């Protein structure tokens, strides 16, 4: 196991900058998820760690040793591919044992080791099958087994669960989580699924347009998103963002928007700086922090009902404020709501997030 470090790494494909000036360091035994929409540079970053792409500039270190221009085979890493990359002409035993074969291990030893790993992953009884003769979930485990069969410094995962159906994905996710904590391996995991990142990672690097927007623990990213992008990407459904106009009055912050009633907030220096730049701010409230208003609620937002989706334990109530800004609440009560009803949702001041006109979090709010 080893640490991974990026220093000012840039990767361009022609005019397009896939990764622009990314620096971070991943500690020994950490499970880091690179999270972001497609085209944000997360897979390119992972492939540069693996050595499948060479950075345009910058340095990459694995275990303190510079590997920027090292061939993948000399990096002592393991990788699980999105399409599994199992060799169709080899049975499972040979597929799993292939990394040992290229290390010139004798046949009996490498098959014994492959069986050992396969047993842990509950595919030990399938060793004679070809990849085309097993299910998608089993193929995924086989590719995982091939990565685990030899001791690597870092384990890289390129959206390994995205080809599985929803139920299998949950199962595999739980298993991966357990495995990583159990082995204490250093893992870097690329995904566009925020739930996967939240469930697996010890830290998440949220990426957008080739940059890391926020690099923090899942709970930190959930509680204190650094930008509106992160706020809008993490959470299911994502955070509601309402454009508001802020004014200073009586030493407090007054926020105004259609249908919004909010008690004045405590003024801070940070808010003052943001207000000085622009009075247009963004108010953020997570759906789970919204509820159907009871009479006399201080902070409310009112609009006609757009949709009411029953999910079993909760309902997703969406109201339409007209200016394309819809607000969704996760309601855990059985209120009967009809389309066109005017609904008032309430939230408490402690769950309010504020962002300046660039979309950056205004520190101090809700910390």
Partner 1 sequence: MTTQPITTAPKRKVRNFALLSNRAGAAFLTPAGILVAVFVIFPFFWVIFVSFTNRTLLGRTALNPEFVGLANYLALFDPNIFFQRGQFGFSLILTTQFVIASALIGQALLGLLLAWLIQTVPAWVKRLTETFVIAAWILPEVVIGFAWFAFLDRDAGTLNMMLNAIGLPSGDFLLESPFWVIVVFNTWRGAAFSMMLFNSAFSSIPPSYFQAADVAGASSWQKFRDIAVPLIRGHIVTNLILITMWTFNTFTPFLLTNGGPSYRTELVSIYNYRVAFQDFQFGKGAAVGVIMMLINLAFALVYLSLGRKKKVR
- Residues lying near partner 1 in the complex (CB under 8 A) are found at 50-52, 71-73, 75-79, 81-83, 85, 87-89, 98-99, 101-103, 132, 143, 146, 150, 156
Strand, helix or coil at 31? strand
Q: How far is the CB of 88 from partner 1 (least distance, A)?
A: 7
Our CB check for partner 1 shows the closer of 149 and 253 to be 149
Q: Is 138 left (phi over 0), alpha (psi -120 to 50) or beta?
A: alpha
How many C-beta atoms lie closer than 10 Å to residue 324's C-beta? 6
Q: Are 97 and 61 in contact (CB under 8 A)?
A: no
Our CB check for partner 1 shows the closer of 148 and 265 to be 148
Our CB check for partner 1 shows the closer of 27 and 72 to be 72
- DSSP for 51-87? TSS--SEEEEEETTEE-TT--GGGS-EEEE-TT----
| Residue entry with tokens 């509106």 | 228
Q: How far is the CB of 143 from partner 1 (least distance, A)?
A: 8
Q: How far is the CB of 102 from partner 1 (least distance, A)?
A: 4
Q: Are 122 and 135 in contact (CB under 8 A)?
A: no
Our CB check for partner 1 shows the closer of 59 and 76 to be 76
Q: How far is the CB of 84 from partner 1 (least distance, A)?
A: 8
Q: How far is the CB of 108 from partner 1 (least distance, A)?
A: 18
Our CB check for partner 1 shows the closer of 143 and 227 to be 143
Helices of type H across the chain: 42-50, 92-101, 107-120, 136-148, 166-183, 194-200, 218-223, 228-233, 269-277
């Amino acid at each position: 196991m080893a640490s991974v470090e990026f220093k000012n790494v840039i990767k361009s494909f022609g005019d397009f900058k896939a990764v622009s000036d990314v620096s971070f360091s991943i500690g020994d035994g950490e499970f880091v998820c690179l999270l972001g929409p497609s085209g944000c540079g997360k897979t390119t970053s992972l492939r540069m760690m693996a050595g499948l792409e060479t950075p345009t500039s910058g340095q990459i270190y694995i275990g303190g040793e510079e590997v920027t221009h090292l061939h993948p085979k000399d990096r002592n890493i393991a990788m699980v591919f999105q399409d599994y990359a199992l060799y169709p002409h080899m049975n499972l035993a040979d597929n799993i044992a292939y990394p040992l074969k290229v290390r010139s291990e004798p046949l009996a030893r490498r098959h014994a080791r492959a069986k050992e790993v396969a047993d842990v992953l509950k595919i030990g009884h399938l060793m004679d099958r070809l990849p085309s003769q097993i299910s998608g979930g089993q193929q995924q485990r086989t590719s995982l087994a091939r990565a685990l069969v030899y001791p690597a410094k870092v384990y890289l995962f390129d959206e390994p669960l995205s080809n599985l159906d929803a139920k299998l994905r949950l199962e595999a996710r739980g298993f991966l989580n357990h495995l990583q904590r159990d082995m204490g391996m250093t893992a870097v995991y690329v995904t566009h699924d925020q739930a996967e990142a939240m469930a697996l990672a010890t830290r998440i690097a949220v990426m957008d347009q080739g940059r890391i927007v926020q690099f923090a623990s899942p709970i930190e990213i959930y509680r204190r998103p650094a930008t509106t992008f992160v706020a809008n990407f993490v959470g299911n459904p994502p955070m509601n963002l309402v454009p508001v106009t802020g004014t200073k009055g009586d030493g407090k912050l007054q926020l105004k928007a259609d249908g919004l009633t909010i008690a004045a907030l405590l003024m801070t220096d940070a808010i003052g700086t943001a207000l000085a730049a622009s009075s247009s701010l963004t108010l953020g409230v997570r759906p789970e922090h919204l509820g159907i208003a009871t009479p006399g609620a201080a902070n409310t937002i009112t609009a006609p009902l757009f949709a009411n989706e029953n999910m079993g334990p909760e309902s997703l109530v969406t109201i339409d404020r007209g200016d394309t800004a819809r607000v969704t609440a996760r309601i855990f009560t059985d209120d009967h709501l009809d389309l066109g009803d005017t609904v008032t949702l309430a939230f408490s001041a402690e769950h309010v997030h504020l962002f300046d006109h660039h979309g950056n979090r205004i520190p101090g709010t809700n910390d």
